[in-house]
Amino acid sequence: MREKTIGKRLQGYNLRIISLFILFIFISASLHGAERLDLSAPEKKAKSLVMLAHEFVKKNSGNMELIQETIENDPRFKNEEHRLYIFMHAYSQEKRKAVCVAHGIRPELIGKNMWGLRTPNGRLLFQEEIKLINKQDEVWLEYDWLNPYTQKIGRKRSFFKKVNLDDGRTAWIGCGFWKK
C-alpha cells in the first residue's frame, strides 16, 4: 500500500516536472523570436520578400552595386499594399559596424554606419539585431522607427535573415511593416 502511494506521488511529481519543462520550452521559444504559425498577411509578405532577396543576394553577392540597384528599383522587392521594402546591412560586432549596403526606398543611407543609432525610446537597435541574428539565422523584431511614408514614429515589425557575402562580410536582409 505504501509503495503504491509513493509510486503515485512520483508519477504526479514527474508529470509536474514534464509539464513545467514543456511550458519552459514554449515560453523560451516565444521570447526568442520563434515564428508563429499564424502569420498575418503583411508578415507573410515581408518574410517572402526577404527570402526572395536572400536568394538574389546569395547569387550576386560579389556585385554589391547590382544588389543595391535591384533592391531599389526592382518591383519584386517591394509591396505597395503593405508599404514593404527591403533593406540590408553588413555588420561586424568586433569593429562596431552596422553599415547600410542596400535600401529599397532610402538610398541615401547606403554607406552609413548605424551601430550607435538609437530608437526614439533609446534602444540600440542595430546592436540588438546583431546579437539576435548571431544566435539565429532569421528573427522577427518589433521596434519604434520613423515611417518614411508618414514621417512619423511608428511601431514596426520586421523579419531579418542572415547572409554571408562573397567578400567575407556578414549581413542581414530585412523587411518590415508598420503596425496600425
pLDDT tens per residue across all 180 residues of the chain: 666 665 566 565 554 544 434 433 333 333 444 455 789 999 999 999 999 999 999 999 999 999 999 999 999 999 999 999 999 999 999 999 999 999 999 999 999 999 999 999 999 999 999 999 999 999 999 999 999 999 999 999 999 999 999 999 999 999 999 998
Q: Does domain 41-178 have CATH number 1.10.1740.10?
A: no
Q: Do residues 71 and 88 touch, judged by C-beta distance below 8 A?
A: yes
**Buried-state track 152-165, b at ≥16 Cβ within 10 A, e below 16:** eeeebbbbbbbbeb
Phi/psi for 27 (5° steps) reads: -65, -40
Query: In Å, what is the CA distance from 97 to each residue of 21, 76, 109?
Result: 38, 29, 14
The HSE-up count of residue 82 (CA atoms within 13 Å, CB side) is 24
> Is 74 in a helix, a strand, or coil?
coil
Quote the Cα angle for 154-158-159, to 5°.
180
Spatial contact of 176 and 159, defined as CB atoms under 8 Å apart:
yes
Q: Where do the domains of the chain lie?
A: 1-31, 41-178
pLDDT at position 33 is: 45
Local structure of residue 160 (DSSP, 8 states)? E
5-29 pLDDT, tens digit per residue, is: 655 665 655 545 444 344 333 333 3
pTM of the model: 0.78
- pLDDT single digits (tens) 69-91: 999 999 999 999 999 999 999 99
State residue 24's pLDDT score: 38
Please tell me the predicted confidence (pLDDT) of residue 38.
Answer: 87
pLDDT for residue 180: 85
Query: Is residue 140 within 8 Å of residue 164, measured between CB atoms?
Result: no
